Amino acid sequence: MSPPPVPTAAVTLTGVCKEFRPSWRRPPVRALDALTLSIPAGQIFGLIGPNGSGKSTALKIVAGLLSPTAGECRVFGDAAGSAGAKARLGFLPEAPHFPRFLTAREFLLYCGELSGLAGGELAGRADELLAWAGLAGAAERATGTFSKGMAQRLGVAQAVVHAPDVVLLDEPASGLDPVGVRGLTRLIRGLKQDGRTVVLTSHFLPQIEEVCDRVALLHEGRLLREGAVGEFVGPAGGRLERFYLDQFGGSAS
Amino acid sequence: MSAPLRRCPALVRVRLVALMAVREALHLRLVPLFAALALAPVAAVFWLRGFNFGTAEWKFIVDFGHGALGAGGLLLAVLATVQTVSGDGEHRTAQMLLSRALTPAEFLAGKLTGLLALLTWFAAAVALVLVALLRWRAGDASDALAVALAGIGLIWLKLTVTVALTLLIASYARSALFAAGAALLLVMLAHLRHLVGPGADWTRAWLLVLPDFQLFDPERLVGLAGRARALLLLGSAAYAAAYVTLYTALAAWLFKRREH
Sequence spans of domains, chain B: 2-257
pLDDT, residue B16, reads 95
From the CA of B45, how many Å to the nearest CA of chain A?
37
Which of A2-11, A167-176, B228-237, B249-258 shows the lowest mean pLDDT across its residues? A2-11
Of the two residues A166 and A239, the one the predictor is more confident about is A166
Of B9, B12, B96, the CB nearest to A91: B96
pLDDT, residue A250, reads 61
Of B16, B91, B95, the CB nearest to A91: B95
pLDDT, residue B222, reads 80
- Determine contact: B250 vs chain A, CB below 8 A: no
* Reported ipTM exceeds the 0.90 cut: no
* pLDDT tens for each residue of B87-132: 787 777 889 999 999 999 999 999 999 999 999 988 898 888 888 8
Highest mean pLDDT among B31-40, B56-65, B86-95, B180-189: B180-189
pLDDT, residue B5, reads 59
Q: CA dist B231 to A142, B146, B150, Å? A: 49, 14, 11
**What's the mean pLDDT in A21-28?**
81
Of B23, B24, B95, the CB nearest to A93: B95
What is the distance between the alpha carbons of residues B84 and A192, in angstroms, rounded to a whole number?
Answer: 36
Q: What is the mean pLDDT of chain A?
A: 89
Longest dimension (CA), chain A: 61
Contact at CB, A114 and B99, closer than 8 angstroms:
no
Of the two residues A89 and A149, the one the predictor is more confident about is A89
- State what percent of residues in chain B have pLDDT above 90: 42
pLDDT, residue B169, reads 95
Which of A21-25, A201-205, B103-107 shows the lowest mean pLDDT across its residues? A21-25
Q: CA dist B259 to A61, A80, B85, B144, Å? A: 10, 15, 15, 51
User: What are the residues whose beta carbons fall under 8 Å from the beta carbon of A79, sequence distance 6 or more?
Assistant: A72, A73, A85
From the CA of B84, how many Å to the nearest CA of chain A?
10
pLDDT band, very low/low/confident/very high, at A253 (cuts 50, 70, 90) = very low
Nearest CA-CA partner of A202 in A244, A141, A166: A244
Of B17, B92, B259, the CB nearest to A95: B92
Interface of B with A in 228-247 (CB under 8 A): none
Does residue B134 contact residue B61 with C-beta atoms inside 8 Å?
Answer: yes
* pLDDT tens for each residue of A137-194: 999 999 999 998 899 999 999 999 999 999 999 999 887 888 888 888 988 999 999 9
Longest dimension (CA), chain B: 62
pLDDT, residue B167, reads 95
For residue B101, list chain A residues with Cβ-Cβ distance below 8 A: 83, 86-87, 114-116
Nearest CA in chain A to B255: A65
Contact at CB, B92 and A89, closer than 8 angstroms:
no
Highest mean pLDDT among A206-220, A232-246, B62-76: A206-220
Give the bridge partners for A170, in sequence order.
A201
Interface of A with B in 66-85 (CB under 8 A): 66, 83
Contact at CB, B99 and A115, closer than 8 angstroms:
no
Amino acid at A107: F
pLDDT at A252 over 50: no
Nearest CA-CA partner of A154 in A171, A172, A166: A172
From the CA of A6, how many Å to the nearest CA of chain B?
29
pLDDT at A65 over 50: yes
What is the distance between the alpha carbons of residues A205 and A212, in angstroms, rounded to a whole number?
Answer: 10
pLDDT, residue A207, reads 85
Contact at CB, B259 and A66, closer than 8 angstroms:
yes
pLDDT, residue A5, reads 60
Of B9, B17, B99, the CB nearest to A116: B9
Q: Is A122 helix (H, G, I), strand (E, B) or coil?
A: helix
pLDDT at B55 over 90: no
pLDDT at A53 over 80: yes
pLDDT at A102 over 90: yes
Which of A239-248, B89-98, B111-120, B251-260 shows the lowest mean pLDDT across its residues? A239-248
Which of A41-50, B84-93, B206-215 shows the lowest mean pLDDT across its residues? B84-93
Of the two residues A235 and B93, the one the predictor is more confident about is B93
Contact at CB, B95 and A63, closer than 8 angstroms:
yes
Highest mean pLDDT among A173-182, A234-243, B66-75: B66-75
**What's the mean pLDDT in B51-73?**
76
pLDDT, residue B227, reads 85
Q: Cα–Cα–Cα angle for B76, B78, B82, nearest 5°?
A: 115
Contact at CB, A162 and B100, closer than 8 angstroms:
yes
From the CA of A96, how many Å to the nearest CA of chain B?
6
Of B27, B91, B100, the CB nearest to A114: B100
Contact at CB, A158 and B20, closer than 8 angstroms:
no
Q: What is the mean pLDDT of chain B?
A: 84
**What's the mean pLDDT in B138-167?**
88
pLDDT band, very low/low/confident/very high, at B143 (cuts 50, 70, 90) = confident
